[in-house]
Copies of this chain bind each other. A is one copy, B any other.
Amino acid sequence: MPYINVKITDEGVSKEQKQAIIKGCTQLMVDVLDKNPATTFVVIDEVNTDNWGIGFDQVTELRNQALNSGTK
Residues 34-56 of A contacting B (Cβ, < 8 Å): 34-47, 50-56
Q: Give the distance in Å from the alpha carbon of A43 to the alpha carbon of B47 in the complex.
A: 8
| Distance of A63 from chain B, by nearest CB (Å) | 11
**Contact (A15, B50) CB under 8 Å given A2-B8, A3-B3, A41-B3:** yes
**Contact (A39, B72) CB under 8 Å given A22-B58, A24-B32, A56-B27:** yes
> Which label, helix, strand, loop or mixed, suits the secondary structure of the A interface?
mixed
Residue A1 at the chain B interface, CB threshold 8 Å: yes
**Contact (A1, B52) CB under 8 Å given A24-B32, A72-B36:** yes
| Distance of A7 from chain B, by nearest CB (Å) | 4
